[in-house]
Amino acid sequence: MKYFIFTILILFNYCVYAQTETTTAPTDTTVKSNWTPVGTVGLNASQIAFSDWSQGGDNSVAWSFLGNFGFKYESNPWLLSNSLKLAYGMTKLGQTDFRSTDNEIYLETVLSHKIGWVVDPYISNTIRTVITDGYDYKVTPEVQTAAFFDPGYVTQSLGFTFNKEKFLSTRLGVAFQEVFTNKMTQYTDDADTPNEIESFKFETGIESVSESEYSIEDNVLYQGKLRLFTRFKHLDTWDVRWDNIITAKVSKYFNVNLMVQVVYEKQQSLRTQVKEALQLGVTFSIF
């Protein structure tokens, strides 16, 4: 937990410094430097109930929350982009307890410097973890597989980024990844040291992150994000995370969302993980 707080403070201090530097600089009438906030939240819910229903069935209720927030700061030639994704959802079927269906925090900061090339140098920091305890419900009794910052993934990257197109941005760089655990040491333990259980793992490798966003129709938007990470020790094995969201706007506040997430990380599972959700819910912008 202390590492998480430390990382947040570093990012906060850097952002404050960047803002302070701008306020003391001479006024430039040709370049407008400011913070651009973006924030959307969505709530999806479904419920079904039966009473003396002869055709069978079971009561169910499900809900999910998704929040996407961002603060972008631009002062030529610097560009600082901060984004935060919060996802949490639960479902209950019959007499079973509520079970989590969405459970994630994804915080990312990218600082780039325009140098007049096709690509620009950048540094980035990413934090990934869950909000609450996560369980594997396929076994009885269920087994806990995650908790807040257990595991927690912190990744720093240094390289070059291409963001000249409105619908596409991509970056590639050398990466340093730290994995923190408390009880879930299966994510950090080194099999080569059977007499010791490690709760921290440091890895170096290559990270690639690509993001795309474009309108399929006037009221249909596609958003995608693909992250790849490989370790220098095992360049033949890549961690893959591919997020896809198609949003169809039904009215001012109501949207239909199709979300597909594909994850492959050998330390978590030898099989490719896939999550799909089709939801109707309320979405609105905060700012």
DSSP letter for each residue of 137-175? TTSSS-EEEEBTTBTEEEEEEEEEEEEEETTEEEEEEEE
Per-residue pLDDT of the chain (287 residues; tens, 9 = 90+): 444 444 544 444 444 444 444 444 455 554 554 899 999 999 999 999 999 898 888 999 999 999 999 999 999 999 999 999 999 999 999 989 999 999 999 999 999 999 999 999 999 999 999 999 999 999 999 999 999 999 999 999 999 999 989 899 999 999 999 999 999 999 999 988 999 999 999 999 999 999 999 999 999 999 999 999 999 999 999 999 999 999 999 998 899 999 999 999 988 888 999 999 998 999 988 88
- pLDDT value at position 270? 86
- pLDDT value at position 32? 58
Question: What is the rounded CA–CA span in Å between residue 179 and residue 129?
Answer: 10
Question: What is the rounded CA–CA span in Å between residue 223 and residue 42?
Answer: 15
Residue 52: left if φ>0, alpha if ψ -120 to 50, beta else—which one?
Answer: left
Q: Do the Cβ atoms of 123 and 111 come closer than 8 Å?
A: yes
- pLDDT value at position 114? 96
User: How many alpha carbons fall within 13 Å on the CB side of residue 108?
Assistant: 15
Domain boundaries, the chain: 2-25+34-49+58-208
Q: Which amino acid is located at 177 in the chain?
A: Q
Say which DSSP state 97 is in: P
- pLDDT value at position 286? 87
- If residue 16 lies in a helix (H) or strand (E), which one and from where to where? helix 2-24
